[in-house]
Structure 1
Amino acid sequence: MKTFSRGILTAMFMLSGAVAVHAAERAIIVLDASGSMWGQIDGKPKLEIARQALRSVLKTVPADTELGLMAYGHREKGSCTDIELVVPPAAGSADAITAAADGLKFLGKTPLTAAVKQAAEDLKYTEDKATVILITDGLETCNADACALGKELEQGGVDFTAHVVGFGLTAEEGRQVACLAQNTGGKYIQASDAKGLEEALTQTVAAPAPTPAPAPTPAPEPAKPEFNFVPELTLAEGGAPLKDAGNAWEIYKANADGSKGERITTEYSNYKGSLEEGDYVIRATLGEAGVEQPLKVEAGQVYKPTFVLDAGTLVIRPRPSEGGDINASAAVVFDFPGADNPATYYGETKVVLPAGEQKVRVTIGQGEANETIQLAAGQTVEKDIVAGVGRVVVNALYAQGGDKVDAGGLDVKIYKAKKKIDGTREQVTYGYGPDNKFDLPAGDYVAVVRMDQAEVEQPFNTRVGEAGDVTAVLDAGVLAIDAPGARQIRVYSAKKDIQGNRKDFGYTYDQKHQTTLPTGEYVVEIDLGDSGKKEANTAVKAGERTELTVQ
């Protein structure tokens, strides 16, 4: 089935209702693209859950809603100014937002307060009604007060509202960001319920658009039947009507040429309705299949049309190897004729698709498998697709037999072991933090593991269906420097090269500096501004912490 995290999807649908009430409203979604979004819920990265939830919710937002996307932490690892309006607010921006979210890298810090303020300013909140929806899995990390910002925006705005989705936050953490929403009259939604995966979007009820009230009449009309539109849906011609299938009925006014005009409403499953006289276009959808037909409604008539989807059901079970367990985070992509974009699902997938040739691609980590399946109307086809990968878990130690590097700044890059003709290696994938899991096709690889200024290469091998651990020993320690009054702290190697130069091991514009360094001797240079510079010698030992004070 098509799956999502229950909490985030529910929260996003609540917010979709909040922004879609009036099509004239302008809103910006502020998406947390910090490195912590690589954290997993039930084996699936939070960033993928957020992307999928966005993709699903945007399908329910009317095309004339002016919606934009802002991201932070997606370009630099340590910057508090890494904020970008990726998609400016505009009508019909759903596809652009989806594509932008899919292309984001998740790297840096969490300047959520500055991002919300910038979004409000981009919406001209002091002149027009404006709404900001913040999705964050962490607290402010850039020394700003989100609660105070909420009061500021509420007092200075014409009609400003901020909604906050706390994705994976604890109750206590949630209280620290809820005030941003509460101080602007918005909603705070705790989206930490990740107990499994949600059913397909078509089986989730979104708030339908309101049906226009019928025009008043000067005199009572003749009695009408309770319902004048009672449609049925089947997968194939002559097939049994579908009940409680989670399908959608989209009802549009018809234009003069018979094409779809204004959308009246969207209803679900066993719908019965009462439509005013006039010409309509009705579209029935289930999964990725859809069919539409015209309907002319006249007074006193009851219409019971049958909609034939000409579709079948495909069940895909993605596995890393023959006989391996179904992989819940595997991407299952369907690229079928007539689709605007390929449809992507995750884990074991059960979906209704148009009859015909179905091209299915399954990816697990860096492994990929492609199948072509013939699907007939009314048919159900079940298929195991094997991506052919093994799993490795990569960690680092400061020293052989010493402490594990348990820091989010741990950088892991995976390369193919075989060098190209120019002597470089092809990068396969990357990740951050300890216990990084990589699903890789069988072969020889090199893990380049880096923590601050210490880096090591660790060769390893993977086999399909096997799991293993890769441990890189950095042969490094931690140097912590305290230099009161310093404008800048720089670290150099103590030994000079043949040209008399010392290798630079990083710097900071602060009075304190902590970094991981390879074992060896170093010179610390302190810039005290008008008071000149000072130098201090120190040594770093593998697996040990060295503290240095320079006054």
Structure 2
Amino acid sequence: MTGFSRGVVAAAVGLLWMTTLGQASERIIVILDSSGSMWGQIDGKPKQEIARQSLRSALQSTPADAEIGFMAFGHREKDSCQDIELIVPPATGTSGAITSAMDNLKFQGQTPLTDAVKQAAKALGSSANAPAKIVLITDGVESCKGDPCALGKQLKEGGAGPVVDIVGFGLDADEGRQVACLADATGGKYIQAADAQGLKQALAETVAAPAAAVSPPPAAEQKPVPEEEKTTAKPEETAPPAETAVVEPAVKEADFAPTVMLAQGGAPVSDDNSWQVYKALPDGSRGDLVASQHGAYTGTLPPGDYIVVAQLGEADAEQQLSLKAGETYKPVFVLDAGVLDIKAPGAFRVEIVGAQKDGQGNRKTFAASYGETLEATLPTGDYVVVASHSDGSTRELPASVKTGGKLELTVD
């Protein structure tokens, strides 16, 4: 075989490897702790709200070919250690589905984080070529008799298992050590996030960052080419000149400046609210999340059909819009909502539930917080405030939220 031929074969082998590697897309399952403690507040905002906003932001920066799934625990039952659900299986283009799933979670249950990671690992399976990762976001330690450290060793011994990254949101150093061993054993990392900015950065490093790539095979040993095999490429073998690239003109975008208010004709809200912009599917449902902002929205969007959701606290408003190139859009979103400001002296937990019970006698939880105070933005309607005390007693008080109003309530 001539030196020229050997070079062609080596290049082909390298190209084949790179192509195979490119086809092995990254697979991730994000697990969000949906236990009741996520209603605890950091800097005046519930942890669950901070977590959802931070994860929305991270999903916008994931590679297009990444297969991302979403799992939650503690979101359906208060006292069950089996309440674990893979809501969105790993696949490409799942940002919209994950965001929608997050928006419908109830944060109320236990923390079976060991079994959740075990189920996520099983769902990902094992592969020597496709990098796989689990990202666990939790504000608490195991509460269902699981052993995170033992699971870490089990996953490591199994071989070709996923890397587990853990983000401890608001955990202290001792609590962090109880879960960090799981990440360490699998080659992952434990990141402690104390506030919203810390959580956003942690998710940028875990969810948005690609998993470790699979190492290529060692290069073949290069042998010297004998003089008699050295050849000079013939003129016809010379590569043709590269074609001149054609630059397509940029598509002009639409200016987009929406506003949101509690009541028709009221003052615009530009603090603590959030925006999510989804591609609109032909059937009118939400597609992929394409933009997300907190506070006042400023920016542009490519021409097309979108579903835009404005959210403040537990209230939201949605519109489907068709944007044209070069035009300016200033839609107004009315939440039809009000504010409920609660003080419950001596209580260790305050909860706002719906006034109506379902067929099983349960009432939907709209907001909750550990401590004596709670302020929440809620859709107009009737509610019941439940204040729980350390002696096991509870006190309830009805509350009616009016559009654009603020109701201050004391539960003695």
Q: TM-score range by the shorter chain?
A: 0.5 to 0.7
Correspondences of 1:107-506 after superposition (within 5 Å): 107-124=108-125, 131-195=133-197, 299=242, 301-309=244-252, 311-320=253-262, 322-323=266-267, 326-331=270-275, 341=286, 345-355=293-303, 362-365=310-313, 367=315, 377-380=325-328, 385=333, 387-396=335-344, 404-407=346-349, 410-415=350-355, 429-431=366-368, 433-434=370-371, 435-440=373-378, 445-449=382-386, 451=388, 454-473=393-412
Q: Whose radius of gyration is greater, 1 or 2?
A: 1
User: 1:259-306 deviations in whole A, cap 9, x for unaligned?
Assistant: xxxxxxxxxxxxxxxxx99xxxxxxxxxxxxxxxxxxxx715254432
Q: Which of the pair is proportionally richer in helix?
A: 2
User: 1:422-454 deviations in whole A, cap 9, x for unaligned?
Assistant: xx99979453544332324666x3424264975
Amino acid at match of 1:437: E
Cα pair distance change 1:63/1:373, threshold 3 Å = closer
**Is the CA contact (8 Å cut-off) linking 1:63 and 1:91 kept in structure 2?**
yes
Distance 1:219 1:470 in 2: 90
Matched residue, 1:510: none
Cα pair distance change 1:139/1:359, threshold 3 Å = closer
1:33 and 2:34 equivalent? Answer: yes
User: 1:388-435 deviations in whole A, cap 9, x for unaligned?
Assistant: 5431123445xxxxxx1114xx5431438xx9xxxx999794535443
User: 1:86-130 deviations in whole A, cap 9, x for unaligned?
Assistant: 344456655544443343322111121222233334445599975
Cα pair distance change 1:42/1:385, threshold 3 Å = farther
**Is the CA contact (8 Å cut-off) linking 2:70 and 2:98 kept in structure 1?**
yes
User: 1:305-346 deviations in whole A, cap 9, x for unaligned?
Assistant: 32223x222123434463465232345657768787265644
Counterpart secondary structure, 1:362: strand
Distance 2:305 2:297 in 1: 17
Distance 1:465 1:353 in 2: 30
Cα pair distance change 1:299/1:54, threshold 3 Å = same
Amino acid at match of 1:458: L
**Is the CA contact (8 Å cut-off) linking 1:42 and 1:196 kept in structure 2?**
no
**Is the CA contact (8 Å cut-off) linking 2:275 and 2:297 kept in structure 1?**
no
**Is the CA contact (8 Å cut-off) linking 1:312 and 1:354 kept in structure 2?**
yes
Q: Compute the displacement of 1:82 (Å).
A: 2.1
**Is the CA contact (8 Å cut-off) linking 1:80 and 1:109 kept in structure 2?**
yes
Distance 1:440 1:38 in 2: 15
**Is the CA contact (8 Å cut-off) linking 1:446 and 1:457 kept in structure 2?**
no
Amino acid at match of 2:352: V
Aligned residues: 353
Distance 1:340 1:425 in 2: 29
Amino acid at match of 1:142: C
Q: Where do 5+ consecutive residues of structure 2 fail to align?
A: 1-20, 202-207, 214-230
Q: Which of the pair is proportionally richer in strand?
A: 1
Distance 1:438 1:71 in 2: 24
Amino acid at match of 1:313: D
Cα pair distance change 1:138/1:219, threshold 3 Å = farther
Amino acid at match of 2:248: P
User: 1:32-71 deviations in whole A, cap 9, x for unaligned?
Assistant: 1112223445555433443444445445555665543332
**Is the CA contact (8 Å cut-off) linking 2:309 and 2:318 kept in structure 1?**
yes
Amino acid at match of 2:187: G
**Is the CA contact (8 Å cut-off) linking 1:181 and 1:187 kept in structure 2?**
yes
**Is the CA contact (8 Å cut-off) linking 2:306 and 2:322 kept in structure 1?**
yes
Cα pair distance change 1:187/1:468, threshold 3 Å = same
Amino acid at match of 1:447: V
Counterpart secondary structure, 1:36: helix
Bigger RCO (CA 8 Å, 6+ sep) = 2
Cα pair distance change 1:319/1:158, threshold 3 Å = same
Q: Where do 5+ consecutive residues of structure 1 fail to align?
A: 1-19, 200-205, 211-217, 223-275, 278-297, 398-403, 474-551
Cα pair distance change 1:428/1:52, threshold 3 Å = closer
**Is the CA contact (8 Å cut-off) linking 2:42 and 2:195 kept in structure 1?**
no
